[in-house]
Homo-oligomer: A and B are copies of this chain.
């Protein structure tokens, strides 16, 4: 990918494009003109428009939930979960996944051209909230003619969006599946995000956010940010059993600052490959939106009020080895849902794969999703598709 590609990433997604007179007003009171939302759909919307599943992606995710990424060529990031015969069965459900606003894969974000100036926004782009992201998704759902989503699902930052959807548009969400997430970002998580932002902003190629105009990119800073974050996505046990103290392509220590250990080599690779597909300013905006997320604060400090009298069916999922969003965060959501009188299942999945477990082949988690959606589909009156038993 070249620098110029970054502003016009080869997105092969559908695009919802707003006009020059249609302003999107953010929670901070700023306006975005000519907003675009890039999205993918899979499967067919039924006549009743009752089988739509909205999938919300995580911090560095995208709309290619079940199809090849146009830059990396990799399969969709959740093909284990989404596809024909999968738990989120595209032969049964109409699946929507959009790139969040503030992102960099087709939706309007800091790398986009500001129609008012003809230059890319950079950090003149408005700082967004999870609520802004969700309100933009709601406009897409409107555009697709869907009143009520059968399900909204997502992990991590995607799970924050699920909770925000359920709180803000309870009548539009039949079922909600927030995974490995919380109703607020913790001090430790804010701290890790701040390290990543400081790494990016310390890179002289960041150019006070205006690097695209100057045809450079803060790749080193972004790589360091990714490396730091990546450690938090794995569990200590997973790192120890995968890498331990094993050396990389050598039989003894080199007494140098080369990547002697496999875990160093792995992290460097994570950093280097990330900068190929992600915009540094988008990373700032996404981390900030997560930091700002505090659902209780929007409801007078009482999380239960966010879900009062909700008729949405919830399934809250956490993973035992996730230390970024530990089970205690999910449990706080479950308590609030219970206090609000909502219908909720809570499943803590035993796994040593850490936060990233929601993206991995964890059979108990996949079975949980299948079971929850199957039962919700029955309640929703969604019949089995031909050839597939519910």
Copies in the complex: 2
| A267 contact from B191, B239, B284, B288, Cβ within 8 A | B191
Interface string of A239-277 (1 = CB under 8 A from B): 110111100000001011101110110011001000000
In the complex the two chains form, is B224's CB within 8 Å of A187's CB?
no
Q: Write the nearest CB–CB distance from A186 to chain B, whole angstroms.
A: 6
| A195 contact from B198, B224, B257, B291, Cβ within 8 A | B224
Chain A residues 103-146 with CB under 8 Å of chain B are: 123, 126-127
Q: How far is the CA of A231 from the CA of B232 in the complex (A)?
A: 12
In the complex the two chains form, is A257's CB within 8 Å of B192's CB?
no
A-B contact pairs, 22 of them (CB 8 A): A27-B255, A126-B255, A127-B255, A184-B245, A186-B236, A186-B239, A187-B240, A187-B245, A188-B236, A191-B227, A191-B267, A194-B261, A194-B263, A194-B264, A194-B267, A195-B228, A195-B267, A198-B227, A199-B199, A204-B204, A260-B291, A261-B291
Interface string of A34-53 (1 = CB under 8 A from B): 00000000000000000000
A186-B240, A221-B202, A240-B186 known; A195+B245 contact, CB < 8 A: no
Q: Write the nearest CB–CB distance from A321 to chain B, whole angstroms.
A: 12
A79 is an interface residue with CB less than 8 A from chain B: no
Q: Write the nearest CB–CB distance from A244 to chain B, whole angstroms.
A: 6
In the complex the two chains form, is B123's CB within 8 Å of A231's CB?
no
In the complex the two chains form, is A240's CB within 8 Å of B292's CB?
no
How many residues of chain A are within 8 Å of chain B by beta carbon? Answer: 56
Question: Which residues of B lie under 8 Å from residue A228 when comparing CB positions?
Answer: 192, 195, 228
A28 is an interface residue with CB less than 8 A from chain B: yes
| A271 contact from B123, B198, B257, Cβ within 8 A | B198
Q: How far is the CA of A368 from the CA of B49 in the complex (A)?
A: 68
A187-B243, A191-B267, A202-B221 known; A257+B227 contact, CB < 8 A: no
Question: Which residues of B lie under 8 Å from residue A223 when comparing CB positions?
Answer: 198, 202
Q: How far is the CA of A184 from the CA of B245 in the complex (A)?
A: 9
Can you name 6 extra interface pairs (CB under 8 A) apart from A127-B255, A191-B267, A194-B267? A187-B236, A190-B261, A192-B228, A198-B224, A199-B202, A323-B323
In the complex the two chains form, is B187's CB within 8 Å of A239's CB?
yes
In the complex the two chains form, is B231's CB within 8 Å of A188's CB?
yes
A220 is an interface residue with CB less than 8 A from chain B: yes
In the complex the two chains form, is B220's CB within 8 Å of A202's CB?
yes
Please name the residue on chain B nearest to A328 by beta carbon.
B236
A69 is an interface residue with CB less than 8 A from chain B: no
In the complex the two chains form, is A28's CB within 8 Å of B220's CB?
no
Most buried by B among A187, A190, A227, A292: A187
Q: Write the nearest CB–CB distance from A127 to chain B, whole angstroms.
A: 4
In the complex the two chains form, is B190's CB within 8 Å of A264's CB?
yes
Question: Which residues of B lie under 8 Å from residue A245 when comparing CB positions?
Answer: 184-185, 187, 190, 294
Question: Which residues of B lie under 8 Å from residue A236 when comparing CB positions?
Answer: 186-188, 323, 326
